[in-house]
Amino acid sequence: MTTSLAIAAVTARLQGILDTALSADVPFAEVTTRPPDRAREESTGNQVNLFLYNMTINPAWRNGDLPWRVNPGETGHAPLPLNLYYVVTAYAGESENGIARGPTDDFTGSYRLLGAAMLALHDYPVLTAEEINSLLGAGDLDNHVFDQVERVRITPHSLSPDETGKLWAGFQTPYRPSMTYEVSVVLIESRRQRVSPLPVLRRGSEDRGVDAVIGPFPVLDEIRRPPRTRPGFQYGDRAILNGRNLGGEPVLVRLFHPLRPERALLLTPGPESTESRLEVDLRGGREVRLEDGVETDLSADADALLVWTAGFYEVTVEGHIVGAPPRLSNTLPLALSPHVTSITPNPALRDANGDVSLTLTCRPEVTRQQHARLILGDREIPADEHLALTDTLSFRIVDAPAGVFVTRLRIDGVDSLPAVIPPPDAQGRPQPPIFDPAQTVTING
């Protein structure tokens, strides 16, 4: 496997390439891997310094499995893919003269050193696993073998004058003749174990494969309330589902709540439903366990209110035909609002500190995982902690304002409906909506 030693191993191989080339061209030249500001602390002769100044994540390999490590059907954690950036700097003698003459009138100096180093990396543009492993000691070979099919490529990486100035300013040392290179890609294998599933012995019931279902499929276009009713949905309201191909024997409406991922609610549309319109009451129904299909009857409201939950539901229509798998529609959201039945005390009297404690009863009951808030004027007050399923919530309002307020109960982002529609007048004429008296509270004192 290729481990975290890969960075050091690749750097050592680059150092070896430079050392071999320089020993043949410029005798007694030293190749080091020090930071540029400390490169000359222990050297005064001819020297080439190789420094890893930056690393980036290779985007092409960021989320891919290692093809030689992960077999088909297995799931492995992506490797750490690195692009390494090096700066190669040349130094010649104590004077660091760029061009100098040797005893036999030969050219020496830092420019010749830099040219020899660049030529060496030009002639060896690819590093193989065998070359890198040849530098590792016995202990490292036992535990840190460099083993990747993708070869490591050495590419010149030119910087603009502005980038070069910033680079050397970061080194906090004067500029020297240098060249930068990109070395990629180095793949460091994750230590997390791969997941290898067992082979598939049967496909579907009795090894008959998957069930193919052909259309037409039901299509949901919208969910709305009946005409002349207040907007929004509460437990017990009627919902109208408009769409296409909504017929079948039978047709069921499935509601799924994310807080109950193992179960769903099944509702039967009313007899007045058609191919393009389903009418369903949001109450009762049946609860089905998704794992084994066991159903529980919720025709009694007392049982249903322990299962129904305020918040957002996913609504799907199931069209059933004898002898064929169910045809499922697309999914639409439905926000089921909590229904506040009472607020006590009402009116409420502020205490000596100006605070008020209110208790709300609501339905359906609120689960332990749900977040409850009371909207009072322009304030949002969190409910006291509730550790179990409950229909009673307590709120402590600090520095409560005096006056008459229409409150709202917010459960997981869904507010209770503050308005109700009164019954028709004596002449049978419909009345405009009014604020719900059960959600109106008076604060005195």
DSSP annotation string for 155-172: EE----HHHHHHHHHHHT
Which residues have CB under 8 Å from 76's CB, separation 6+?
65, 66, 69, 70, 190, 192, 194, 195
Max CA distance (Å), the chain? 123
Q: Determine the Cα–Cα distance for residues 86 and 82; give it in Å rounded to an integer.
A: 13
Helix, strand or coil for residue 6? helix
Mean pLDDT score, 129-143? 76
Q: How many residues comprise the chain? A: 445
Question: What pLDDT sits at residue 345?
Answer: 94
Residue of 35 and 148 predicted with greater confidence: 35
Q: What is the pLDDT of residues 308-361, one digit of tens each?
A: 999 999 999 998 777 777 888 999 999 999 999 999 999 999 999 999 999 999
Terminal CA-CA length for the chain: 75
Residue 63 contacts residue 87 (beta carbons within 8 Å)? no
Torsion angle of the four alpha carbons 59, 62, 67, 68, in this order, in degrees rounded to the nearest 10: 110
pLDDT-derived band at 1 (thresholds 50, 70, 90) equals low
The mean per-residue pLDDT over the stretch 404-411 comes to 94
241-251 pLDDT, tens digit each: 999 988 877 89
pLDDT tens by residue, 181-191:
999 999 888 77
pLDDT value for 360: 95
How many angstroms separate the CA atoms of 201 and 199, rounded? 6
pLDDT at 104 over 70: no
Minimum mean pLDDT range among 228-237, 249-258, 420-429? 420-429
Contact assessment for residue 185 and residue 82, using Cβ atoms and an 8 Å cutoff: yes
Comparison of pLDDT for 206 and 277, the residue scoring more: 277
C-alpha to C-alpha distance for 176 and 164, rounded to whole angstroms: 11
Residues 6+ apart with CB under 8 A from 77: 190, 192, 194
Give 43-89 pLDDT, tens digit per residue: 888 899 999 999 999 988 887 766 656 666 666 777 889 999 999 99
- The structural architecture, per CATH, of the domain 219-337 is Sandwich (2.60)
Question: Do 235 and 305 form a contact (C-beta atoms < 8 A)?
Answer: yes
CATH topology of domain 339-444: Immunoglobulin-like (2.60.40)
pLDDT score, position 137: 74
On whether the CB atoms of residues 357 and 395 are closer than 8 A, the answer is yes
pLDDT of residue 324: 72
Residue 229 in this model has a pLDDT that exceeds 90: no
> Which positions ≥6 away from 415 have C-beta within 8 Å?
337, 375, 408, 409
Are the beta carbons of 145 and 1 closer than 8 angstroms?
yes
Are the C-beta atoms of 328 and 351 separated by less than 8 Å?
Answer: no
Instruction: Read off the pLDDT of each residue in 109-118 and give the average, rounded to a whole number.
Output: 90
- pTM of the prediction? 0.57
Mean pLDDT in residue range 7-15:
92
Q: What's the pLDDT at 69? A: 63
- Residues 258-278 have a mean pLDDT of 91
What number of H helices and E strands is found in the chain? 6, 31
Q: What angle, 0 to 180 degrees and rounded to 10, lies between the N-to-C axes of helices 6-25 and 110-123?
A: 120
